[in-house]
Chains A and B, each alone.
Chain A
Amino acid sequence: MSRWLDGNFVSVVDGVAFGLLLFTIAVGLSLVFGMMDVLNLAHGTLYLAGAYVAYALSDGTVTGLLLALLAGVLVGTAGGAALTFLTQPLAHRGHLDQAVLTLGITFIVADLLAAAFGGDVLPTDPPTALRGTVGLLGHSYPVYRLVFIAVAAGLALLVYLVFERSSLGALVRATVADRDMVRALGVDIRKVLYGVFAAGAALATAGGVLGAPILGPGPGVDETVLVLSLVVVVVGGLGSVRGALAGALLIGQVQTLGVALLPEYAPFLLFGTMLLVLVVRPQGLVAPAVRA
């Protein structure tokens, strides 16, 4: 057992890092779709935009990273608001129309980003202070990924507290459960919608800023991220923070520990896991909290 742990410990830790990265990205997709019923296929693009912000603003200092984080959150908030505005008219026309619209937006934005930043992959280095490796049970592990685990875990806790434990979260869930009742209480439903969308988008761009040293910006990253997020949302269950977390951590381990143990099955592990979960628990690991 201890030998097994020794050989795979780094993969387990990295699975947590990767899982938490997937969580910060996917939770927005899950909330917006699960609660607001808007299918946003531009979600991967929000991550990519955040990663480019990190590339543009990172100067090797922690201050640079924090500035990038602030800028990324602003970009995400604006992007989320813009996406709400654009998808609003399609609210009653089903998911396919939303998918087509948001996918079209991804192509336009991806082309604009490629025009601005070129076709090369531009990975971002973490701040100088957070570079290098530390020993974990005799194996080396990048310092930045440990820092990322701490920050993303804090973020996950914050999101959980806001959406599932605060009165603000209660308002959001009430809006989903019974719009008319909430409207009758004098709440502007559109504000809730804009708020959830902007928060989800800001989380994705923040994930892009912090995740850039792990999943750096470049053409095609938006699609990779979107597909991974969709898998996380399906596996975890729609519309709940805990579901997104459970799905993301599971997929994180599948993509690291699973691949380390079964490298020859690597191409099938991701979708194999999704298939398995869909067969055993079609509603996802954590059933949707509020939607009837």
Chain B
Amino acid sequence: MAGRIRPVGLVAASTALLLATACGGASLGTGEDERSGPVKIGLLVPRSGTYKALGDDMKQGFELYVARHGGKLGGREVEIVVADEGETADSGKAAAEKLVKQDRVIAVSGVVSSATINGVKDLFETGKVPLVGSNASPTTLTGTEYIWRTSYVNDEPGKALGTYVAERAGGPVFLIAAGYQAGKDEVEGFKSTFLPAGGKVAGREVYTPFPGTKNFQPYLAQIEKSGARAVFCFYAGGAAVDFVKQYRDFGLADKIPLYAPGFLTEGGVLKGQGDAADGILTALNYSADLDNAANKEFAPAYTAAYGSAPTTYAMASWDAAQVLDKAVKAAGSTVTSESVNKAIAQVGDIDSPRGTWRFNGGGTPVQPWYLREVKQGANTVSSELVRLGG
């Protein structure tokens, strides 16, 4: 029976099984409608898989806000229904449908991945349920009425850095990013301000296969050969750790300064990178050491509750809760998905740990961007680069 071994069949079967594992995630809810009871808010974040660490940050930021406001948003008791976004657009969509159709939440927050938010766009738009997203924000997501983002548009960190790097680099800059939509958005954003400011690209921009690139040596060899005076890269999660460590291991860290959108050194990855991250310069809309009143409430409370400094992901989720807090309050006695959505549009200035911001016409923040440098294992703000989103 065991007979001949057919490698093709083996690999096909294995691949199918690996793909099958990408499904699953959401568990069944109760499905009851509770519009008169507590306000039900869905939290759609990865509870498993590659993005779990991001999902944890987002869940903690949101829950911290609610906890510090007596378990209420806009004066109403809150029931948070958590659903697992998983790793893929399919698992995210299934979880979002469960939140909207079964749990009948009045609004959803969260969403880590751009693929998920593209996949659930129609669900929220046609279902007229507001999604106050606190992370994923592809540049292509425009013209929506029910989708808000308290994070940023994906090309903005690159945009924030472009002029600065063009002025500082003193020569051509090598561009390298993870080969998926967010990576391309970041590089395009960077070039949109870098090239007009007189910046020159070293060689050709490189997109490394994502996910799956674990050994960056061949790309590091390219960088070394290119004669670049600086590198702009985009990586997040595990790839950020591997890239930064190997950048140091292959001796580039001392020779060629590394610039990146802040995700490269944000949150758990920084611990993994250790001292290999020292000196890396990043742009982001937040840093845990920002000196403002809102952050003086948020950052210490977060650190006390969860044992690590807050990330931009946690901060954006805190703000998402704050937006919902204000919107539910403004909606008054008739708290429905549509009244809350209307109220979000008029929510005005948000006093945030990142500094004050407000939604633009596209539902994303007009906000300050900061230059940060990693010193002794922590991101430290060195200056405000620009205000973007207008």
Q: Residues on A close to B: CB < 8 A?
A: 7-8, 10-11, 14, 18, 33-34, 37, 39, 41, 91-92, 94-96, 99-100, 103, 107, 111, 114, 118-123, 125, 133, 139-142, 144-145, 214-216, 218-221, 223-224, 226-227, 230-231, 233-234, 238, 255-260, 263-264, 266-267, 274, 278, 282, 284, 288, 291
Residues of B within 8 A of A288 (CB): 5
| Complex: A145 Cα to B217 Cα, angstroms | 11
Are A125 and B274 interface neighbours, CB within 8 A?
yes
Residues of A within 8 A of B213 (CB): 266
- What is the 8 Å Cβ interface bit string for chain B, positions 41-74, against chain A (1 contact, 0 not)? 0000000111011001000000000000000000
Task: Report the nearest B residue to A262, measured CB to CB.
Answer: B218
| Complex: A144 Cα to B17 Cα, angstroms | 35
Nearest Cβ on chain B to A259's Cβ, whole angstroms: 4
Interface size class of B (residues with CB under 8 A): 35 or more
Q: Which of B250-269 contact A (CB under 8 A)?
A: 250-251, 268-269
Residues of B within 8 A of A96 (CB): 13
Are B221 and A95 interface neighbours, CB within 8 A?
no
Task: Report the nearest A residue to B208, measured CB to CB.
Answer: A266
Contacting B18 at CB < 8 Å: which of A18, A34, A37, A227?
A: A227
Residues of B within 8 A of A259 (CB): 218-219
Nearest Cβ on chain B to A117's Cβ, whole angstroms: 11
What's the dominant secondary structure at chain B's contact region?
helix
Contacting A119 at CB < 8 Å: which of B5, B17, B224, B268?
A: B268
Residues of A within 8 A of B211 (CB): 220, 224
Q: What are 9 A-B pairs with beta-carbon distances under 8 A?
A: A92-B1, A119-B53, A140-B251, A214-B215, A218-B272, A219-B238, A230-B11, A259-B218, A284-B7
Nearest Cβ on chain A to B102's Cβ, whole angstroms: 25
Residues of A within 8 A of B208 (CB): 263, 266
Contacting B221 at CB < 8 Å: which of A8, A39, A231, A264?
A: A8
Residues of A within 8 A of B215 (CB): 14, 18, 214-215, 255-256
Are B1 and A14 interface neighbours, CB within 8 A?
no
With A139-B224, A234-B10 as contacts: A14 and B5 at CB distance below 8 Å: no
9-residue interface stretch from B77-85, B137-145, B241-249, B329-337: B241-249
Residues of A within 8 A of B272 (CB): 120-123, 216, 218
What's the dominant secondary structure at chain A's contact region?
helix
Are A219 and B52 interface neighbours, CB within 8 A?
yes
Task: Report the nearest B residue to A7, measured CB to CB.
Answer: B225
Q: Which 4 A-B pairs have the closest CB atoms?
A: A140-B251, A119-B52, A260-B218, A120-B268
Contacting A233 at CB < 8 Å: which of B7, B56, B217?
A: B7
| Complex: A91 Cα to B2 Cα, angstroms | 8
Are A133 and B13 interface neighbours, CB within 8 A?
no
Are B238 and A238 interface neighbours, CB within 8 A?
no
Residues of A within 8 A of B217 (CB): 10-11, 14, 18, 256, 260
| Complex: A8 Cα to B225 Cα, angstroms | 9
Any A CB within 8 A of the CB of B212 = yes
Are A103 and B17 interface neighbours, CB within 8 A?
yes
Any A CB within 8 A of the CB of B206 = yes
Any A CB within 8 A of the CB of B36 = no
With A96-B13, A119-B53, A133-B251 as contacts: A238 and B218 at CB distance below 8 Å: no
Most buried by A among B2, B13, B221: B221
